[in-house]
Amino acid sequence: MINNYSQGKKHMISKNDFLMEGTGKGKIVIQCPAKINLDLKITSKRADGFHNIKSVMQTINLYDYLTLRAEPAEQFEINLSGTSNEIPYNEKNLIYKAILLFIERVNIFPYKIDVYIEKNIPVSAGLAGGSTNAAGILKGLNVFFENPLSDKNLHELCAKLGSDLNFCLEGGRQLTTGRGEILEVLPFEEFEVSLIKPLHLGISAKEAYTKFSQKLSKGKTGRKDFKNDLEWAVVDDYKELQTIKTLYPDSMMSGSGSSFFMINGKFQPLEGYLVKNGLKTIPDGVKVI
């Protein structure tokens, strides 16, 4: 039985004759990189309500760090904590959902699982902060329990949780299609990346895709002028984004926004905006360090 005391909710899992025990290491640290979309085209609407996309994704050296601690217990307990006041620390967090999915997939002895989230990737910024954390905890749990799941199994779990998790698991530079879960490795290129994000503006994927559909249905033009279809969908609705495009016309929105990036260029400090210059592309996804 999984028991989250703070929420008072219990989740049942099946019990087989064989239960796995952890390594006993006690603590694992997982490095979870952000991603940018070098382009993003929406190709069709799916029957399940999602959209099919075609996007080249790239991981960069901006990281969240997850500290996973686990110890045997009388019953399962999941506790999340961290540095950010912008994310939930309960069952709404993708990390929590990923832990539940892992436990349901792998029969293990009851454990008290604590995860501390050092949040450095901006939230609701199109940088896959939530997705990379969820992919990271799946990777970390698999290492802790001595790899009961294959890479294929991990990808199956990732696909159940969201569209960017499969890419975050692998990282590097990849062409992503379907919902984003179908990957094709592309040659890695190292270059500098700079980011800028309005401090008080976050855009959810749901909002961006909804606005894309609305704009498309109204016959709005200009989509071909954007490498990212979601940037076309939302840029007219936010003065903060228009300011970025006015000052830096060559910048591009990542994912559903609200962050923009430049390749081999730098953003100047701007009041009301977070600026990170001098980042680099990396060939990796989430990993235990």
Catalytic residue numbers, as ranges: 35, 164
In DSSP terms, 66 is beta-bridged to 30, 117
Return d(Cα 14, Cα 17) in angstroms, integer.
10
Q: How many CB atoms are located within 10 Å of the residue 21 CB?
A: 11
CA–CA distances in Å: residue 184 to residues 51, 96, 164, 249? 18, 28, 14, 30
Distance, in Å, from the CA atom of 231 to the CA atom of 127, rounded to the nearest integer, reads 14
- Count the neighbouring beta carbons within 10 Å of the beta carbon of residue 96: 22
Which 8-state DSSP code applies to residue 23? -
Task: At 68, list the tokens.
Answer: 């996973």
Residue type, 65: Y
CA distances from 62 to 19, 56, 104, 143, 234 (A): 37, 18, 31, 23, 25
Report how far residue 192's alpha carbon sits from residue 235's, in angstroms, rounded to the nearest whole number. 24
Amino acid in the structure at residue 64? D
Q: Give the contacts of 61 (CB within 8 A, at least 6 positions apart).
A: 33, 279, 280, 281, 282
